[in-house]
């Protein structure tokens, strides 16, 4: 059978792809399509932008690394155990104190005040010189009691005495150096007369001769010794002189109280009512014209308490469930202190008083040890670490930078914040 040749059949009026005319004005040859140039030109357009993005990314990474080292750290906010209590105790403080007794310490300062009055007459008097000395205890680290009338002798052999018993604080060591304990107190000449009016000098304690205390106890003048006199002096009416003396003493009390407040360490609490005040009224002396001079030498001795010692004592006598652990009373100075002793009592005497008011007991913990215990630990381990600190009730932790899950290895980069529920 003969082969049939099948030809394309295109219906009239229909277009075929073969019949679509090209609209190009000329033919495109292979040589005219330069693909290498196309990609080269495209790269020139993208290159600068890509470089900027790379620099920005690297800069951010560097900043993150720097922040991780410079700003790394941790803040631990702690709410310690706390309890509100009512304080209503009668106490007796002692210096020195025995086991279970409340101990107190003293801060003594001295000063003088002079007032003037119009003279109205004269009288014959015999007066002993007096002044203020500083007694030093370089004998023992324990407080040492000196009894009433203890003698102090100058290099010239003049004798002065203390009128009341005193307790001189023990020596201490600061920065490897031994600092003698010291106490200011008034002394009086053994005899009346001007021979005992002397300038600043040193003193020994003759009663300690032949014992180790003789070298360890000594004194130095705080003021000159004045007032020694035998003869006639100008005077004014007694009631006027007493009023002038009392006014000078009241001003001295305020001045000395401010001195004590400035000298008191932050670790101690002082109640202004716990002040022992001792004054010496010097005899009148002639002043310019027809005036007389009235002088007062005064010594104020503040009874101060260690905050930690007083806080434990208060807790022990105000709480039935006190567990003997370290505590501090928040704002102990707000409690009402009522002395049961005379302001003329001597340092070293028993000091009875009452203490009343509302207070908050705050349990203490060793923050330095806590930092060391937390260093290098993960957040998951904080509960185990805190469990060993009975003085801590609740904690919250922030570690920087935020992506870190471990505390810094160095305790110095761990900050402890303490918050109280009352604040």
Peptide bond into 401 cis (omega under 30): yes
Give dist(CA 393, CA 385) in Å, integer.
13
Tokens representing 15? 């277009």
β pairing state of 151-153 and 159-161: antiparallel
Residue 227 · residue 132 · CB < 8 Å: no
Residue 280 CB neighbours (<10 A): 20
114, β-bridge pairs: 295
Peptide bond into 26 cis (omega under 30): no
Phi-psi region of 287 (alpha: psi -120 to 50; beta: other; left: phi over 0): beta
- The residue-averaged pLDDT of 193-200 equals 94
Least confident of 66-70, 169-173, 259-263, 304-308: 66-70
Q: State the distance between the two ends of the chain, measured CA to CA, in whole angstroms.
A: 116
- CA 409 from chain centre, in angstroms, equals 28
Strands, DSSP E only, in 30-72?
Answer: none
How would residue 20 be classed by pLDDT, with cut points 50, 70 and 90? very low
Burial class (CB in 10 A: 0-12, 13-18, 19+), 358: exposed
Residue 120 · residue 204 · CB < 8 Å: no
pLDDT tens column, 217-243 = 999 999 999 888 888 888 899 999 999
Peptide bond into 34 cis (omega under 30): no
β pairing state of 73-80 and 414-418: parallel
pLDDT tens column, 359-386 = 999 999 999 999 999 999 998 899 999 9
What CA dihedral angle connects 185, 189, 193 and 196, to 10 degrees?
-80
How would residue 22 be classed by pLDDT, with cut points 50, 70 and 90? very low
Segment of 162-166, 315-319, 349-353 carrying the highest mean pLDDT: 315-319
User: In 3D, which of 332, 245, 253, 333 has the Cα closest to residue 300?
Assistant: 253
Give dist(CA 217, CA 143) in Å, integer.
12
Give dist(CA 345, CA 276) in Å, integer.
6
Least confident of 16-25, 155-164, 265-274, 283-292: 16-25
Whether the per-residue pLDDT at 332 is higher than 50: the answer is yes
pLDDT tens column, 102-120 = 999 888 888 899 999 999 9
115, β-bridge pairs: 294
User: In 3D, which of 169, 236, 175, 225 has the Cα closest to residue 202?
Assistant: 225
Residue 140 · residue 152 · CB < 8 Å: no
In the chain, the percentage of residues whose pLDDT exceeds 90 is 54
């Amino acid at each position: 059978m003969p082969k049939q040749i099948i030809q394309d059949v295109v219906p009239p009026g229909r277009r075929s792809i073969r019949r679509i005319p090209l609209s190009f004005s000329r033919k495109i040859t292979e040589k005219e399509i330069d693909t290498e140039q196309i990609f080269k030109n495209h790269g020139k357009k993208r290159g600068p932008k890509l470089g900027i993005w790379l620099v920005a990314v690297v800069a951010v990474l560097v900043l993150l690394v720097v922040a991780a080292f410079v700003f790394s750290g941790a803040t631990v906010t702690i709410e310690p155990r706390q309890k509100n209590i009512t304080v209503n105790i009668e106490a007796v403080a002692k210096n020195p104190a025995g086991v279970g007794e409340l101990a107190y310490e003293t801060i003594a300062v001295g000063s003088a005040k002079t007032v003037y009055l119009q003279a109205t007459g004269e009288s014959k008097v015999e007066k002993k010189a007096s002044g203020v000395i500083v007694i030093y205890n370089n004998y023992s680290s324990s407080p040492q009691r000196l009894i009433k009338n203890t003698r102090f002798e100058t290099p010239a052999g003049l004798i002065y005495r203390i009128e009341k018993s005193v307790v001189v604080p023990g020596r201490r060591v600061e920065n490897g150096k031994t600092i003698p304990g010291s106490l200011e107190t008034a002394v009086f000449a053994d005899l009346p007369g001007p021979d005992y009016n002397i300038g600043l000098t040193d003193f020994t304690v003759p009663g300690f001769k032949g014992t180790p205390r003789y070298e360890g106890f000594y004194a130095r003048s705080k003021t000159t010794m004045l007032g020694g006199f035998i003869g006639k002096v100008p005077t004014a009416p007694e009631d006027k002189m007493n009023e002038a003396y009392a006014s000078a003493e009241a001003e001295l009390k305020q001045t000395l109280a401010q001195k004590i407040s400035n000298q008191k360490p932050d670790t101690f609490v002082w109640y202004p009512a716990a002040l022992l005040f001792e004054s010496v009224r010097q005899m009148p002396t002639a002043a310019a014209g027809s005036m007389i001079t009235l002088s007062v030498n005064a010594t104020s001795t503040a009874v101060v308490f260690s905050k930690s010692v007083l806080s434990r004592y208060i807790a022990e006598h105000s709480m039935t469930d006190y567990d003997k652990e370290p505590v501090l009373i928040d704002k102990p100075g707000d409690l009402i202190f009522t002395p049961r002793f005379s302001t003329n009592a001597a340092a070293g005497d028993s000091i009875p008083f009452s203490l009343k008011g509302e207070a908050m007991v705050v349990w203490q913990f060793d923050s330095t040890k806590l930092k060391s215990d937390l260093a290098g630990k993960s957040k998951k381990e904080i509960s185990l670490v805190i469990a060993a600190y009975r003085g801590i009730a609740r904690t919250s932790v922030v570690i920087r930078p935020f992506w870190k899950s471990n505390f810094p290895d160095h305790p110095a980069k761990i900050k402890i914040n303490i918050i109280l529920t009352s604040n």
